[in-house]
Structure 1
Amino acid sequence: MKKLLPILFLIVGLGAGAGAGVFLGPTGAKGDKAETAETENKKDDKGKSEAKAKPEKAKDETPTGSEYVKLPKQFVIPIVTKDHISALATVSLSLETVEGSTDAVYSKEPKLRDMFLQVLFDHANMGGFDGAFTRPDNLAPLRKALNDVARNELGDIVKDVLIVDIARQDT
């Protein structure tokens, strides 16, 4: 009986998973529409129907001609009060750039990280991460400073600097 119980649990678990997949998965009608959207029927000279696949857009492409370059590591900013670290703020940034400029951003990443860190340290020293630090009027000067630094370093290829994630951990 002890050897049969794990096998029974495995069979019940697989059945429940399969049932949930069928129940929560796409229905036949939606699947047919998705398949129709991917292919189009085109008749050749003899009247035969032939399926032609539509090219898919790359995941990073947007209709506006922008590309989003995520900086790979978070920025960790110490928040100092009365000569000791009272909290840490973490910020994740991405850059909205013109298409085809990913390599230019990554080639200047160390310089950009240094400049962004200086802006973030200045913001922390001015009390930017104190209180309700996620309010729009508190983040506006930070966004402007980050944009200015990015445009000074990379030029017109930078459209915007996006704050993707921001958090504060009190110590």
Structure 2
Amino acid sequence: MAGKITKGEQTKNRIIECAAELFFRNGYNSTGINDILKITKLPKGSFYFHFESKKELAIEVNAYFQKKLGKWISDTAKNKKWEEFVNNLVNDMINGVESGVYFGCPLITLGQELAFFEPEIASHYHDSLKKLIDLFTYILENSGIAKENSVRLARRVFAIYEGNLVYYRISKNKDVLRNMGEDLIVIYQNYLETGN
């Protein structure tokens, strides 16, 4: 049985969740510690009790997004083959867009921002993206793709997935998400038929 979350853990989680939202919406560079403290209504000492720096917080934000994204994709894929998984995933995205709560992939968005000037933080985002490829690999294997071919196909669908999410984030056109879904299904079906 999991223990009750402490007040300190609640405070730390509140800081991470607020930073995650601000980093994703405004960017890591455009978000200061004071912006986070203003929204959380916490004193600066609370921040530094839990985090040595904004960089350490960015690593925790990565773990937060990795867990959240991994759970969403895993839950969406549970007991489903590739086509149904993709259709449900895209429908969730479009519903999120229409509700004003979906903005693309936070891992790729923040990873791109951090890649060249904060490589030690970016490496954590890179590892999370590799785990996303692993998740796609698992789903593809459960959808009839042979283990020896699943990693290669997972890398291809990952590129289509992330490329379209970047394109959506720039265009704000939800048809990009629909097209992505179609492309993800077609590449899978072609692979089943031709093996490449």
Whether TM exceeds 0.5 here: the answer is: no
Larger relative helix fraction: 2
Q: Rg larger in 1 or in 2? A: 1
Q: TM-score, normalised by structure 2?
A: 0.27
Q: TM-score, normalised by structure 1?
A: 0.30
Larger relative strand fraction: 1
